Amino acid sequence: MSIKKQFLLPDGKTSKHAAANALALQIDFGQGTINTYDVSKINKGVLVCLTLHGLSQKLGDAGAGKTVDEHIERADTVFEGLMEGRWIERAEGVTRSSLLAEAIAEVKPAKYKTVAEAVAMLAAIPDTDEGKKKRKSIESIPEVVKVLERKKAERAAERAKAAAAVKSDGKELAAL
């Protein structure tokens, strides 16, 4: 059995993707049965639980099939995108804005005296095809790439050092 999920919008139209203005989730169970689930009828405490569950799924999915370091980077990138108001983000080839801003501030200190200035510049790039091309071109500048890769390696080394410091009583290993 195949079900179809869609989101009901205020104008009565539907979307395959969740939208900030969506009113309800509609599920077509087949055989003529379509149920509508109105989120405004859900208790606020339960909405928090739903939000956290959805966040755990989205961040977990972000790194599916990746190494631990890649998963951490992807989860942080997705979370940063959510904080910036982006729900749907392409997983491959996206550099976190904060990391990219750090690199930009490092390679262009005369123009971007602080990371915050570089963040503001990146935030001003529109989320359009043209804006995505501009961001990709910034991400591919050799000097920026060099700093990005160094910073990623430094962060991975910090995580490895923290992991090495964790003491184990050997029970988990023995249980494998």
pLDDT of residue 24: 94
Q: How far is CA 142 from the centre of its chain?
A: 25
- pTM > 0.75: no
Q: Stretch 98-118: mean pLDDT, rounded? A: 91
Phi, psi of 84 (to 5 degrees): -90, 0
Q: Stretch 84-99: mean pLDDT, rounded? A: 65
**Which positions ≥6 away from 7 have C-beta within 8 Å?**
14, 15, 16, 17, 18, 19, 22, 24, 25, 26
pLDDT category at 1 given cuts 50, 70, 90 is low
- How far apart CA 134 and CA 136 sit, in angstroms, is 5
pLDDT of 18 > 80? The answer is: yes
Beta strand residue intervals within the chain, DSSP E: 4-8, 14-15, 24-30, 33-38
- How far apart CA 147 and CA 155 sit, in angstroms, is 12
- The candidate with the shortest Cα–Cα distance to 73, out of 157, 165, 156, 164, is 156
Residues 156-171: tens digit of each pLDDT: 888 788 777 777 777 7
H helix runs in 93-168, sequence order: 97-107, 115-123, 129-139, 142-165
Block residue for tokens 């930009």: 104
pLDDT of 91 > 50? The answer is: no
- How far apart CA 40 and CA 56 sit, in angstroms, is 22
End-to-end CA distance of the chain: 37
The domain limits of the chain are: 4-41, 42-86, 95-176
Q: What residue type is assigned to position 100 of the chain?
A: L
Percentage of the chain surpassing pLDDT 70?
Answer: 95
- How far apart CA 51 and CA 43 sit, in angstroms, is 12
